[in-house]
């Protein structure tokens, strides 16, 4: 009987020790869970940067949605930029200068056209406002004398 009680006590002690192990780990697990739930400003900034990298990757490298990590996307962007720079370096200097002049000329032309359009719009607005003013005066004149 004594042996049986001793074995039961040992069994109970072992079981209680097994039960205390998980409960002693609970505060540590709870602390880890709360750390994961708190979103730091750094995490928000990293998420925003990841979105920007994805946008640049779509625009410059591959317009399809890709299941790549941010570092892989950055690597692809870097590779694309490197190949573009190598291509740019292989263009003869005289052709590059000519292309720059053409682009500058197109830019100046667009700017002039935009300025002309703005001037025309301002003139039209002025005419319409004055016409409205004259029409308003005519209506008042008509109502007053008739």
Contact between 52 and 72 (Cβ < 8 Å)? no
Q: What is the mean pLDDT of residues 49-60?
A: 92
Query: Is 143 a domain residue?
Result: yes
Same domain, yes or no: 117 and 145: yes
More confident residue, 2 or 48: 48
Q: Do 86 and 73 lie in a common domain?
A: yes
Judgement on whether residues 140 and 99 belong to the same structural domain of the protein:
yes
CA angle at 57 for the pair 93 and 46, rounded to the nearest 5°: 120
Note the pLDDT tens digit of each residue in 7-54: 887 787 777 766 655 555 556 666 666 655 556 778 888 999 999 999
More confident residue, 101 or 63: 101
Domain count, the chain: 2
Q: How many residues does the chain have?
A: 146
Domain range enclosing 104? 93-146
Helix axes of 41-60 and 70-89: crossing angle, nearest 10 degrees: 40
Digit-coded pLDDT (tens) for 73-106: 999 999 999 999 999 889 899 998 999 999 999 9
66 pLDDT tier (thresholds 50, 70, 90): confident
Task: Report if residue 31 sits inside a domain.
Answer: no
pLDDT in tens, 94-141: 998 999 999 999 999 999 999 999 998 988 888 777 776 666 666 656
């Amino acid at each position: 009987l004594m042996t049986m009680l001793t074995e039961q006590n040992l069994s109970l002690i072992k079981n209680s020790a097994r039960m205390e192990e998980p409960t002693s780990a609970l505060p540590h697990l709870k602390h880890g869970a709360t750390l994961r739930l708190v979103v730091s400003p750094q995490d928000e900034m990293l998420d925003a940067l990841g979105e920007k990298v994805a946008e640049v990757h779509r625009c410059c490298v591959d317009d399809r949605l890709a299941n790549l990590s941010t570092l892989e996307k950055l690597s692809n962007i870097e590779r694309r930029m490197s190949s573009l720079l190598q291509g740019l370096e292989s263009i003869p200097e005289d052709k590059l200068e000519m292309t720059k002049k053409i682009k500058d000329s197109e830019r100046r032309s667009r700017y002039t056209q935009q300025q002309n359009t703005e001037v025309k719009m301002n003139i039209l607005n002025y005419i319409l406002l004055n016409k409205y003013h004259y029409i308003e005066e005519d209506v008042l004149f008509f109502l007053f004398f008739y």
